[in-house]
Structure 1
Amino acid sequence: MTEHLLGRALVEEATKKSGLIWVRGEGARDEGDGRALWHIWHEGAAHVVGDGPGEQPLPGLRAGGSAEVTVRSKDKGGRLVAWTASVTELEPRSEAWESAVAELKSKRLNATDTEGLRERWARECRVLRLDPVSSTTSLPNGSLAAPPPGSPATTRGVMPAGLPRLLLRRAKKRG
């Protein structure tokens, strides 16, 4: 009993203090399908919003399902605790939804429309509650690093040979 309560307290404190949680839903294809999600801890569970325009995707997370949640350290980025969650979708404009959305809205960074955020989330997004089922699970082995998805973005090529001299000459003129 004491071990269960200590595990629950560890999950709550670590999740509250972390800016991101890594979540892998039941529909995930393999170990590397976890997603980093911003969240809030509210009324004993993690809450996330997404699957709408301009919001984070929530792949593999479905109401009535479960998910594996890994919490990282906010300062060092290392894994602190992993736990299993039951996933519940909150009904838009219900009392639980309103309470969670008030907290989510206050923590939402870079929102394009802060005034219409609540209505947009009700109309186009899903708000999910991730309730801890098991207080802790074993941390995954390995780094779980995956190659980034393809992108048309490119990196700068090799620096031209004369550039360091040009920059040095400018620095000498200034000072």
Structure 2
Amino acid sequence: MAFFTQKVWVEWIEQGLANGEYNYYDYKDLNNVEQIGSSKVYKAIMKKDEEEIMVVMKYIGNKLSTREVQSELKLLRKIRFFNNDHISSFYGITKSDSNDKNQLKYMVMLEYGDGGSLREYLQNNSENLHWSVRLKFARQLSKAIEFLHEKNLIHKNLHSNNIIINEQDLKLNALGITCKMEESSNI
């Protein structure tokens, strides 16, 4: 399995940006939100035209194979056009100002959940959470999964930290939707 060197990564991503395959946005006010496994998730404000939008950002992994990276980014690009109410939006790519040589200088930008992850939300609200809200969340999650299955996709990393709450609605995080069903049937 061939792995990208940082130079190849940067060239490949910059070519995609130049070809208009991905949107590029600047950001401000970068803050570390949480560590999930070996991944850090950041919160920032994305500058889109005259608008400022709160987003979460994650470094594009530097230990993934060429195929994994291409698959993830191509699928995120498709998801941008799905416009599904129950899957978080993928906005585009940004360049990090980090000097960490172990990190690639590009990050993906995704929809921010003002209610945090489902795990955080349940920890903070479980005692006062009405059953109608629980049922609403269950329906929204099942609709997100049903939508993916209709597109012949599955989510390879489904857990409560990969589900966000935004404006009192549940959304499945777009990262991790990388596997077509027929590819996974050999597992």
More helix, by proportion: 2
Pairwise TM-score range, normalised by the shorter structure:
under 0.3
Higher RCO structure, 1 or 2 (CA under 8 Å, sep 6+): 1
How high is the TM-score relative to the length of structure 1?
A: 0.25
Q: Which protein is bigger by CA-based radius of gyration?
A: 1
